[in-house]
Chain A
Amino acid sequence: MKRSGMTGQRLAAIFMVGCILLNYPILSLFTRPRVIAGIPLLYAYVFGAWALLIGLLALVIERRRD
């Protein structure tokens, strides 16, 4: 249990970061009729944040030492 303690806590932290990034009010900051590289800002942001979360999950899982 001890060994996996940090992994679990890191994952829980990612959970919280995700809950904040992908919800109001952060989300409302990107609700603008703007386009980034041809892609609507909100759409780009949600998928970007989503990919970031997956990347973080992968990082934590694959680099755990047990």
Chain B
Amino acid sequence: MLQGWVIVLVAFAYLGVLFAVAYYGDRRAAAGRSIIANPYIYALSLAVYCSTWTFYGSVGRAASSGIGFLPIYLGPTLMVALWWYVMRKIIRISKAYRITSIADFIASRYGKSQLLGGLVTVIAVLGVVPYISLQLKAISSSFTILLHYPRIVMPAGAVALPFMKDSALYIAMTLAAFAILFGTRHLDATERHEGLVAAIALESVVKLLAFLAVGAFVTFGIYRGFGEIFSRAQEAPKLRALMTVSETGGSYSTWASLTFLSMLSIMCLPRQFQISVVENVDEDHLGKAIWLFPLYLLLINVFVLPITLGGLMLSPAGGVDADTFVLTLPMAQQKEALALLAFVGGLSAGTGMVILETIALSTMVCNDLVMPVLLRQTWLRLNERQDVSGLLPSIRRLAIAAILMLGYAHFRAAGEAYALVATGLISFAAVAQFAPAIFGGIYWTGGTRNGAITGLSAGFAVWAYTLLLPSFAKSGWLPLGLLTEGPLGIALLKPQELFGLTGLDEISHCLFWSMLANIGIYVGVSLVGARRVAETSQATLFVDVFRHTHGFDRSRIWRGSASVQDLLPLTGRFLGPDRARDAFLAYAHRQGLRSLDELRADADLVHFAETQLAGAIGSASARVMVASVVQEEPPGLDEVMDILDEASQVRAYSRQVEQKSRELESATTELRAANALLKELDRMKDDFMSTVTHELRTPLTSIRAFSEMLLHDPRMHLAERKRFLAIVVKETERLTRLINQMLDLAKIESGNAEWHPTELDLNEVIRESVDATSQLFREKGVALELALSDSVPRVMADRDRLMQVLINLLSNAVKFSRPGEGRVEIRLGTARSGGQDSLRVDVRDNGPGISPADHQTIFERFKQVGDTLTSKPEGTGLGLPISRRIVEHFGGRLWVESELGSGAAFSFILPIGLPSEASEKLAREAAHTTT
């Protein structure tokens, strides 16, 4: 059944399906209905990581190092956990600045350096071409092996075949055609290939299913499950060793360094960058991929050890290469369909890797190697050609073909040599050199162009010396003495024991020295050397991408002049005039303009043109091209420093805000206190008003009531009328008194009262007051006793005011004395109070007395002691407050001493030697009134 034509037919049918899927994907993408815009396709396409080196090679590695094949897949599993930070950032940067390859990424980060882009491209090509040739070899070998079915023959002699009969050549040509068709069919500024991604995702499904099918067949078809395979293997001492880490020193360090190496590779392999960054449709797809991709890696590795052990047990003679077990085990069991499926699985693993890798490399070669060189060739007059958009795809097609032919040539030359076996890891170690420049580039603004160039060169040189050179020597292309004796016999320089370092396997050894050189020089040169302004601005844009992609004011770091008439044709030359026109028009519409004529050639437009160009020819070349039509002034260092200062400004600003808010807080506290005071005053005013109103209404009510009675009853007796009128008069007087006193109090309190201080003899004042109130005493039959002292000093006070106080106190005493038995005593004497000589006046009665609880209250306005409900108020309630104010005005004080039932004594003192302040005030008042 498995004749040659059947195999070829199946292979081409498979490629045809891929082609159809890719074509359909492109069609759907063009129609705006992407079939790859979901995280599952994205995760599957990431599995292009698993090439034939995984499909066939894992078993081979497992056969020699047991569980040692796993770090290659554990590393990526660990690394994707960090993708949330790292890959998101790289994707964001790449989308913002239209970056289309890893070389472009590094070149763009370090000041759009053409030199760096070229260096990265060269390293990538040199590192990856052997890897491509490994795929060609694997596909070719599997084809050859399958062709010999039912015999199992190792294709040792394949290389001996003439070119025309070599399947690898045709495979290479077919793959080149496929890559050219879907990789360079059109020039897209984003360099995304939707159809291709769909095909890659399909390939990932096919290779996984094929491997699982073979694994399941071996495990459950040939044996009865995992248990039997392992228990059978335990019996063979040679196989038992494969199931543990060998105890000889260095195995764990190999494990660790391979894990580390594969962590870097998943970031740095050109095809991984292409699929995970450039072909990424939506940043959010990263989320699911973070666990789906490791799951894929786990699944494709589950059956590796069973297949290995099964293969080793079934062909113990060693006639069959372990690398081919996946294919030869089904063949040995006469499972033709399964063998064919395994072949297709290997084919899918190989083609996916080769197609994507060559496309990624061709973009780099075209944009970072060929274009910069071509643009410099003045004799080509490339700058003057109207439309070179056709040139770019042509260069890429040529590059794809060249890379595949290079791979094929390597395959022919290396053949079965050692170089091919170790190729996978050697490639990994080569691309891992990009890691310091990438990680440093996105997290450290200090990394410079010179640092990256020197570090990368040093790392690459060490890689070539410690890994590539020995592989050449082992392949017989260089004398083995180089390894055993060292170059020119210098043992310290032995490539695999550099400076005498032993105990590491060759990969760990290379990784240690190359990373040491790479990182050390990158950091060292960056720290020592000066930076160009362009580098600084790019560094900021990359490191702070999450801050800058939204609303970043680009014009601040760009000064210059350009015209749309220059930019449009320039872009058109590389993208094609129509596409460029469309792009510019779309840009104009986004700006809210209707036509191209309204476009202003500002910094944003120049940047737009440059990113469009960058998508087509790489950022470094785009920079050069744009600079050729734009009169650009380099951004001043100040402006760049401004951007860098942004963060500190923000910090300073936030400190200011904090300060302000603290001030605000204290102001608020003060305001709150003031507000509380105001509220209290307001409440007091309200109380006062309601009291005043009440006090005024009481006499008014009785006046009105009696007046109305007089009005309505004309036949009222005269006596009655007189009585009523007397009440009205009395109440009116009370009202007048009340109003006068209120005005008086208000005057005193506001400081507007008139004072006429003179030197007084208090004896006289008291006698006059007693005279004024003698009528009251007589009417009520209250006895009054005077105890005066003739020889008291004179005091400075207002005579009328003082009389007001005394009359008030005396009339109060009369008012509260019982008629007939009341006795009031008024006494004048000297006293010492507060270290000062004073005159003291006491007015004592034998009335009902005042409870100590009310001693303060009676001096408040309108407060009268007694039950206001049962007994009619006897005064205005303002006399005592006014009296106290008057006494206090002259520097004295007024108080009461009393107990309920034992009379009351109202006393006040007036200082004789007035305190200077008060006396001056009084003197001023006296002077004022006398003039």
* Chain A, range 1-32, C-beta contacts under 8 Å to B: 1, 4, 7-8, 11-12, 14-15, 18-19, 22-25, 27-28, 31-32
Q: Which of B565-600 contact A (CB under 8 A)?
A: none
B230 near A38: Cβ-Cβ < 8 Å: yes
Instruction: List chain A residues, Cβ under 8 A from B230.
Output: 35, 38-40, 43
A-B contacts, 13 of them at CB < 8 A, read A12-B81, A18-B81, A22-B78, A23-B255, A23-B259, A27-B255, A31-B245, A42-B67, A46-B67, A46-B70, A50-B294, A54-B298, A57-B290
Across the interface, do A27 and B245 meet the contact criterion of CB distance under 8 Å?
yes
B256: chain A residues at CB < 8 Å are 23-24
Within 8 Å of chain A (Cβ to Cβ): is B367? Answer: no
Q: Mark B64-80, 1 if CB is under 8 A from A, else 0.
A: 00010010001001111
**B67 in complex: contacting residue of A39, A43, A62, CB < 8 Å:** A43
Q: Which residues of chain B are within 8 angstroms of A62 by Cβ–Cβ distance?
A: 291
A18-B78, A33-B244, A38-B225 known; A54 vs B294 contact (CB < 8 Å) = yes
Contact B302–A57 (Cβ < 8 Å): no
A33-61 interface with B by 8 A CB criterion:
33, 35, 37-40, 42-43, 46-47, 50-51, 53-54, 57-58, 61
Given A7-B84, A8-B84, A27-B252: A50 and B74 within 8 A (CB)?
yes
Interface residues in chain B, defined as those with a beta carbon under 8 Å from any beta carbon in chain A: 67, 70, 74, 77-85, 225-228, 230-231, 234, 240, 243-245, 247, 252-253, 255-256, 259, 287-288, 290-291, 294-295, 298, 302, 305, 546
Q: How far is the CB of B82 from chain A (nearest CB, A)?
A: 5
Given A22-B78, A33-B243, 17 further pairs, Cβ under 8 A: A8-B85, A12-B85, A23-B259, A24-B255, A24-B256, A27-B252, A31-B247, A37-B227, A39-B226, A42-B244, A43-B67, A53-B294, A57-B80, A57-B290, A58-B295, A61-B290, A64-B287
The 7 A-B residue pairs with the shortest CB-CB distance, nearest first, are A38-B227, A24-B252, A15-B81, A57-B291, A40-B243, A58-B291, A8-B84
Residues of B within 8 Å of A1, CB to CB, are 546
Shortest CB–CB separation between residue B547 and chain A, in angstroms? Answer: 9
Chain B residues within 8 Å of A54, by CB: 77, 291, 294-295, 298
In the bound complex, residues from chain A placing their C-beta under 8 Å from that of B291 are 54, 57-58, 61-62
**Given A24-B256, A27-B252, A28-B252: A12 in contact with B82 (beta carbons within 8 A):** yes
Which B residues are in CB contact (< 8 Å) with A39?
226-227, 230
Q: Whole-angstrom distance from the CB of A35 to the nearest CB of chain B?
A: 7
Question: What is the chain A residue whose CB lies nearest that of B287?
Answer: A61
Assembled-state Cα–Cα distance A47/B226 (Å): 14
With most chain B CB atoms within 10 A of its CB, the pick from A27, A46, A50, A62 is A50
By the criterion CB–CB under 8 Å, are B305 and A43 in contact? yes
Check if A15 sits within 8 Å of B78, measured CB to CB. Answer: yes
Q: Which residues of B contact A46 (CB under 8 A)?
A: 67, 70, 74
How far is A11 from B88 in the complex, measured between Cα atoms in Å? 13
Instruction: Tally chain A residues at the interface, Cβ within 8 Å.
Output: 37
Bound complex: CA A4 to CA B546 (Å)? 13
Q: A42 contacts B243, CB within 8 Å? A: yes
Question: CA of A11 to CA of B286 in the docked complex: distance in angstroms?
Answer: 13
How far in angstroms is the closest Cβ of chain B from A23? Answer: 6
Are B243 and A43 neighbours in the complex by a CB distance under 8 Å?
A: yes
List B contacts of A61 (CB < 8 A): 287-288, 290-291
Given contacts A43-B305, A46-B70, A51-B298, contact A57 B81 (CB under 8 A): yes
Q: Are A50 and B252 in contact (CB under 8 A)?
A: no
Residues of chain A within 8 A of B243, CB atoms compared: 33, 40, 42-43
Closest to B80 in A: A57
Q: Say whether B255 contacts A50, CB under 8 Å.
A: no
Query: Whole-angstrom distance between the alpha carbons of A32 and B80 in the complex?
Result: 30
- Whether A38 and B226, one on each chain, are in contact in the complex, defined by CB atoms closer than 8 angstroms, is yes
Q: Is the CB of A50 within 8 A of B77?
A: yes
**Closest chain A CB from B292 CB (angstroms):** 8
For the complex, give the distance between the alpha carbons of A39 and B256 in Å: 24
Contact A18/B77 with A4-B84, A46-B70 known, Cβ cut-off 8 Å: yes
For A51, the chain B residues whose CB sits under 8 A away are 298
CB-CB under 8 A for A15 and B245, given A27-B255, A50-B74: no
Residue of B nearest to A22 (CB): B74
Residue of B nearest to A14 (CB): B81
The residue in A1, A24, A42, A61 that gathers the most chain B C-beta atoms within 10 A of its C-beta is A61
From A1, A22, A64, name the one whose CB has the most chain B CB atoms within 10 angstroms.
A22
Q: Report how far A21 CA is from B443 CA in the complex, Å.
A: 27
Q: Which one of B225, B227, B252, B298 lies within 8 Å of A47 (CB-CB)?
A: B298
With A and B bound together, what is the CA distance between A53 and B769 in angstroms?
106
B247 to A: closest C-beta gap in Å: 8
For B288, give the chain A residue with the smallest CB separation.
Answer: A61
How far apart are the CA atoms of A23 and B309 in the complex, in Å? 24
Bound Cα distance A11, B70 (Å): 21
In the complex, which of the residues B230, B231, B247, B305 has the most CB atoms of chain A within 10 Å of its own CB atom? B230
Please, how many angstroms separate the alpha-carbon atoms of A58 and B77 in the complex?
A: 12
Residues of B within 8 A of A50 (CB): 74, 77, 294, 298
- Which residues on the B side are within 8 Å of A28 (C-beta)? 245, 252
Q: Using Cβ atoms and an 8 Å threshold, which residues of chain B touch A25?
A: 252
Q: Which residues of A contact B74 (CB under 8 A)?
A: 18, 22, 46, 50
Judge whether A42 and B245 touch: CB under 8 Å: yes
Knowing A11-B81, A14-B81, say if A40 contacts B244 (CB, 8 Å).
Answer: yes
Enumerate chain B residues within 8 angstroms of A58, measured Cβ to Cβ. 291, 295
CB-CB < 8 A to A43: which residues of B?
67, 230, 243, 305
- Most B CB atoms within 10 A — which of A7, A51, A57? A57
Residues of B with C-beta under 8 A to A38? 225-228, 230-231
List residues of chain A with CB within 8 A of the CB of B80: 57
Residues of B within 8 A of A11 (CB): 81-85, 290
Give A59 Cβ to nearest chain B Cβ, in Å. Answer: 8
Query: With A47-B302, A50-B298 known to touch, is A32 a contact of B81 (CB < 8 Å)?
Result: no
A35 to B229, CA, bound (A): 12
In the complex, the chain A residue whose C-beta lies closest to that of B253 is A24
Complex CA gap A49/B546 in Å reads: 34
Identity of the chain A residue whose Cβ is nearest the Cβ of B289 in the assembled complex: A61
- Residues of B near A64 (CB, < 8 A) are 287
Q: Chain B's nearest CB lies how many Å from the CB of A24?
A: 4
Q: How far is the CA of A12 from the CA of B78 in the complex (A)?
A: 9
Contacts of B81 in A (CB 8 A): 11-12, 14-15, 18, 53, 57
Contacts of B259 in A (CB 8 A): 22-23
**Bound form: Cα–Cα A1–B256 in Å:** 33
